[in-house]
Chains A and B, each alone.
Chain A
Amino acid sequence: MITDVSEALMTKWRDIGIKEGLTMNPVFPGVDLAPAVTPPEIAAHLRDILDPVYKDVLQRETPEEYILAPSPQAAWDIIAQREYPEDPKALEFIWPDLDGHWFSHYYIWVDLYKELGLDILKLYDVYARTRTLDIIYPMTKYCVVSDTPRNIKTIQKGEFKVLHCEDGMALNYADGWGLYSLNGVRVPETVVLTKPEDLTKEWIQKNFLGQVNVDVCREIIRKFSIETIYKFLDAEVLDTVEMYIDSDQVLYESAASLPKDKEVKMLPYELVMLRLSKEIVHPYLRMENASLPGVYHLEAVGRDCRTVREALTFRNGTSELPKTLS
């Protein structure tokens, strides 16, 4: 029976659970990818600080052996080398898995039961200790148990937290493996570690012009500024156009046709010639993200484009402008 006392205790331990990380909010939205391959029919348990109590639990699934690895990546590398020597990418899946901290859910209720003076099964102590684990992949032959990352650095973006660190890895494990990320975009190490004062034309040619991912390019522009890139690549502006979107995302090509009863935002477009090398000068379209004010994109367009309109026609594959843009 729920009494005032037990209800107060439940509230107390619920709050503790939330504080300790028991939340369903994803750090990375949309990471629940389906497996690309069938998980291998092998069992192993990988963790560098294995505690006997975990073995007791995991051995119930009869693993054949334990392999120690300090990060999930190192664990997958070992399994891939053994099981898929011809195709090491075969293990690039991240589901199914269990999150270690989910087990702390049980521990919260154990604490509650203890405070209520109720008897608790001894096994619940096991669940309590799984709070120190990260992702768990239970399979028939292998069971990959990951240590928790040493650092996770995030920034709030709308309703989500995304990985972000401007001077180092945004996420890293004890063995040194990790990744660099700016505003939730996974970027090469050099994008994070290169300081603006150390920027060179060669760096831009290699890391910006050679980058095919628009999100990475966006973050390079955001970090080093469009003006800096223009300066290093001897930019020559060919055409500028102002377009507009209203609060319903309807796009207007000129100010003459703007609605009077809606809020309107101006979108600047610019076509610029950039000197990519001694021999090559190429047109690029600079545009502001319609949904992220202050975020700019700079994309190569067809080499014959000389106006913003031609560049948009090339980019969109049609001569008409979109009805709505977001």
Chain B
Amino acid sequence: MHFQQGDVIFERIEEIPSEAQQIHGDKSQEVMEGELTGHRHALTGMHSVLFQLAMEKFLLVPEKAEKEIVVHEEHRPTELPPGKYAIRQVQTVDPIQAHKDEEERKRAVRD
């Protein structure tokens, strides 16, 4: 099961990787930030915890929180029930590069 707010997906997972580190300080409520707008997908609750492992982020919404509400300047609030989530962005492709790669692969096969 997953929940989507704009280009951010919250996917329910069984466990958050044990190596993931809790995010503290100014960024502890920031799920993701827009490059050119300064807009942020941000947590509003007091109990949820963000974790980071390399470039990946994870979210723990504890049972005592009842729910977490994620806000963004341009999107309606997203309610997340208690649970563990992997946070990721939707994906797209560079079509020009994708076709180049395909052509190279074809050439490799031919060779």
Q: Give the B-binding residues of A (Cβ under 8 A).
A: 28-31, 34, 157-158, 160, 162, 184-187, 209, 212-216, 249, 276-277, 279-280, 282, 289-292, 299-303, 314-318, 320, 322-326
Contact = CB atoms under 8 A, between A and B. Distances in A.
Interface in B21-66: 25-27, 33-40
A299 to B, nearest CB: 5
21 contacts: A30-B33, A30-B40, A34-B25, A157-B73, A184-B39, A215-B34, A216-B36, A276-B95, A279-B99, A280-B96, A280-B99, A282-B98, A282-B99, A289-B74, A301-B92, A303-B99, A315-B90, A317-B9, A326-B5, A326-B75, A326-B76
B90 A316 contact: yes
B87 to A, nearest CB: 12
Contacts of A186: 36-37
Contacts of B11: 318
A291 B76 contact: yes
Contact of A316 (B2, B26, B36, B98): B2
Interface residues of B, number: 38
Contacts of A302: 93
A324 B92 CA distance: 21
A315 B95 contact: no
B90 A326 contact: no
B7 interface: yes
B6 A326 contact: yes
